[in-house]
Amino acid sequence: MRLTAVIGLASALLATLAFADPVSVTPPMGWNSWNHFAGKVSDAVIRAQADAMVSSGMRSVGYLYVNIDDTWEGARDAQGVIHPNEKFPDMKALADYVHGKGLKIGIYSSPGPKTCAGYEGSFGHEEQDAQTYAAWGIDYLKYDLCGLRVLMAKAESPAAAREMMIDAYRRMHAALQKTGRPIVYSLCQYGKDDVWKWGAAVGGNLWRTTEDISDSYLSMAAIGFGQIDLARYAGPGHWNDPDMLEVGNGGMNEEEYRTHMSLWALLAAPLLAGNDLAAMTPATVALLTNPEVIAIDQDPRGSQGERVWVRGALEVWVKPLAGDSKAVGLFNRADSAREAQAEVPLRELGFQGRVRGHDVWKHKDIGMLPETVRVTIPAHGVVLLTVSPGSRPQSASHQP
Ligand code: GLA
């Protein structure tokens, strides 16, 4: 590694250690129940996902959190303490099981009286719920606005409604802090009111920037390619969240899922798989566990990529990496089943002088690049490169 690269890496690590919330120095990685299981999540499902996260090799490339989304909630007792419903007989035992696999466990609630699926929310019980989660051994909370909107609608002005929402997010952060347990705090309010401008200030480690993703190229592409001008709000400890992955759920082809993974990595997005980990094809495992793609997402510099070049349906997104390399994604968004040829002058991507390329999905060094890169991009697909100055081969690597 060259001296400049070493110095760059060291200063990125130092900045990260000094300022970032240690629970999310890099974008959180794991799995969430909603996209595949929705209301069918249960204790048995969570145990099976934890088992599969280990046996599939996902844990060893960095996936860590096993997150229970909505529909786990039961009733409050006479003291106001929340209990899980019959699908989760013993939350503490479940958390112990997940921890025993070297993983962490997440849960879901709402600042409103009810969650999106109509279950019990945390309104008026924030401290009590945070204490309950900590006692169970919870490591991650997704806090979903939903039911609070009913109360916000009664506020005297839009500004008062906004204050009510921000206060509610602040209140739960304070309650989590009070437990003394490190808990990743994930805000979910669908990217309203420029959450990226205040999410970190209310203690958010990540905040959803969009409405819900669904398992189609149209939905994924609208969300992923819509993440423009948000890079400056992300960094170690606080991340933009374009929603969970749909890889492996069956609604997109392999090229489209490759686009999904590549784009989320370039965006430094949280990588929360949303499929059934216990029933994956080898192709799905390969998409989710490519260590070079994960290294781009988890790069210690913590910079989110931006779109730097557009010609019709062709787009190039660039993410600066620690040291002096950049990840470059060349995407074909054309509404056609045909591949596309792209000709991209490297100086238009901000590269000066001679650079080398490495094809991330093919795991292949491609040597010195010409001044204009010419690539064939599959329909709805991507060519993902790392590009580094000089004549030395350099590929991304990831040490979880
Ligand atoms: C909202 C969220 C989803 C999911 C559901 C659960 O729609 O955006 O991610 O948590 O609620 O009800």
Reduce the DSSP state of residue 347 to 3 states and report it: helix
pLDDT at 230: 98
Tell me if 384 CB under 6 Å of ligand 1: no
> What pLDDT shows up at residue 119?
98
Alpha-carbon distance of 189 to 149, in angstroms, equals 10
Please give the Cα distance from 347 to 353 (Å, whole number): 9
Can you tell me the mean pLDDT for 105-121?
Answer: 98
Q: What is the pLDDT of residues 156-210, one digit of tens each?
A: 999 999 999 999 999 999 999 999 999 999 999 999 999 999 999 999 999 999 9
Nearest one of 241, 240, 272, 289 to 35, comparing CA atoms: 272
pLDDT > 70 fraction of the chain, expressed in percent and rounded? 92
Task: Please answer whether residues 189 and 207 qualify as being in contact, where contact means their C-beta atoms are separated by less than 8 angstroms.
Answer: yes
Q: Would you say residue 5 has pLDDT above 90? A: no
Is 70 in a helix, a strand, or coil?
Answer: coil
pLDDT in tens, 235-251: 999 999 999 999 999 99
pLDDT for the residue 48: 98
Residue 329 has pLDDT above 70, yes or no: yes
Are the CB atoms for 388 and 324 separated by under 8 Å? yes
Q: Is 212 a catalytic residue?
A: yes
Ligand 1 centre distance from Cα of residue 73 (Å): 14
The question of whether 90 is a catalytic residue gets the answer no
Task: For residue 261, give the H/E element and its range.
Answer: helix 254-266
Where does residue 262 rank: exposed (0-12), middle (13-18), buried (19+ CB within 10 A)? Answer: buried
pTM flag (> 0.95): no
Q: To the nearest whole number, what is the mean pLDDT of the chain? A: 94
Helix (H, G, I), strand (E, B) or coil at 273: strand
Distance CA 325, CA 350 (A): 12
Q: Is 185 left (phi over 0), alpha (psi -120 to 50) or beta?
A: beta
Catalytic residue among 144, 215, 243, 299: 144
Q: What is the DSSP letter of 170?
A: H
Nearest-5° Cα angle at 144, 185 to 98: 55
**pLDDT for res 21:** 77
Greater model confidence, 292 or 353: 292
Average pLDDT over residues 103-124: 98
214 pLDDT higher than 50? yes
Q: Which atom of ligand 1 is nearest to the CA of 116?
A: 12
> Residue 6: its pLDDT value, please?
47
The per-residue pLDDT for 20 is 65
Distance CA 367, CA 124 (A): 60
Q: What is the mean pLDDT of residues 55-69?
A: 98
* Atom 5 (ligand 1) nearest CA: 116
Nearest residue to 66 via CA among 101, 116, 115: 101
Q: In this predicted structure, what is the pLDDT of residue 17?
A: 44
More confident residue, 285 or 2: 285
